Amino acid sequence: MLNLERLRTLDALSRHGSVSAAAEGLHVTTSAVSQQLAKLEREVGQQLLARNGRGVRLTDAGRLLAEHASRILSQVELAQADLEAQRGQVAGELRLSAFPTAARGLFPVALSALRREHPALRLRSRELEPARGIAGVVRGDLDLAVVLDWYNKPMPLPDGLVKAPVLDDPADVALPAGHRLADRDEVDLGEFAEDEWITWGEGEFCHEWLMFTLRSRGVEPIVGHRAAETHTQLKLVQAGLGVCIAPLLGRHPVPEGVVMVPLKQRVRRHVYVVWRADADRRPSIRAAVRALQEAAAKVG
């Protein structure tokens, strides 16, 4: 009889590619992963792992069993979802992630409401950029991820995921109070050809969106500063070091000396929550989606 937890460990190694990454994804030690895999090899009577430099790789038998393990675990997920749905109880553990401004702007309200209304539900949350949150849901490390895309640059979703809208988040340009355009009712992105931009980290989805959008308006962006957090960006604007895009979610309180000016393009980002289709019937998933949407309704 194959042990489910050992199959879960093999599946994690297959998905993550290393013992240390599998251990991090499973929230156990590397020693525990190695022990589980050694026991699984004894159970099946075949070598599942081979040395590969300083790491390991799956043997042919290991890859074959890992493929079966993925399907078995998916069926177990479906069974658990069906049982939860039949029972109708919001209970167990729910693991969530959100990108930084959503973690600040939505999680405090949504998670406190979930804890108050469903005391048998254990909540575990993390702050992750959208791509990492989606990857965590695909791998099974997370149950839900709050992610985003922009009105003119959608983020592709892998097969097997379900999504629900949370809010459309309008964005303005944040300017120092003394900026030449600070007293305008609205501005065009093309007017910032000579300004330094304060943007997100290199390679982050929002940074790539800003570069794409500015170039589509005929502006070759001058990037002066990078910061992951909206509040850090706004403090740099306050210091007169540049301008930035400031979505509504998570930007309050706006620092003194910073002016928000709407864009003629009516820039918005779409915030939504994703989860695996095989967990779709879990009452805890439904309760969390509802709590996030109710929290979003209070943003303003």
Question: How sure is the predictor about 5, in pLDDT bands with cuts at 50, 70 and 90?
Answer: confident
Does 300 score more than 70 pLDDT?
Answer: no
pLDDT tens digit sequence for 193-245: 999 999 998 888 899 999 999 999 889 999 999 998 899 999 999 999 999 99
Cα separation values, 151 from 129, 209, 233, Å: 18, 10, 22
Cα-trace Rg, the chain: 23
Q: What is the pLDDT of residue 165?
A: 96
3-class DSSP state for residue 147? strand
Quote the mean pLDDT of the chain.
90
Cα separation values, 269 from 160, 187, 253, 266, Å: 23, 18, 20, 10
Q: Where do runs of H (alpha helix) occur along 148-229?
A: 205-216
* C-alpha closest to that of 207 among 244, 167, 158: 244
Stretch 148-170: mean pLDDT: 91
CA pair distance 51, 38, nearest whole angstrom = 13
Q: What is the pLDDT of residue 159?
A: 83
Q: What is the pLDDT of residue 250?
A: 79
Does 16 score more than 70 pLDDT?
Answer: yes
Question: How sure is the predictor about 258, in pLDDT bands with cuts at 50, 70 and 90?
Answer: very high
CA pair distance 124, 248, nearest whole angstrom = 26
Question: How sure is the predictor about 53, in pLDDT bands with cuts at 50, 70 and 90?
Answer: confident
150 close to 156: Cβ distance less than 8 angstroms: no
**Of 66-75, 115-124, 146-155, where does mean pLDDT reach its minimum?**
66-75
User: Who wins on pLDDT, 252 or 114?
Assistant: 114
Question: How sure is the predictor about 156, in pLDDT bands with cuts at 50, 70 and 90?
Answer: confident
CA pair distance 252, 241, nearest whole angstrom = 20
Does 23 score more than 90 pLDDT?
Answer: no
Q: Where do runs of H (alpha helix) occur along the chain?
A: 4-16, 19-26, 30-44, 60-87, 100-105, 107-117, 130-139, 205-216, 230-238, 283-296
Stretch 105-114: mean pLDDT: 96
Residues 6+ apart with CB under 8 A from 73: 4, 7, 8, 11, 140
Q: What is the pLDDT of residue 85?
A: 63
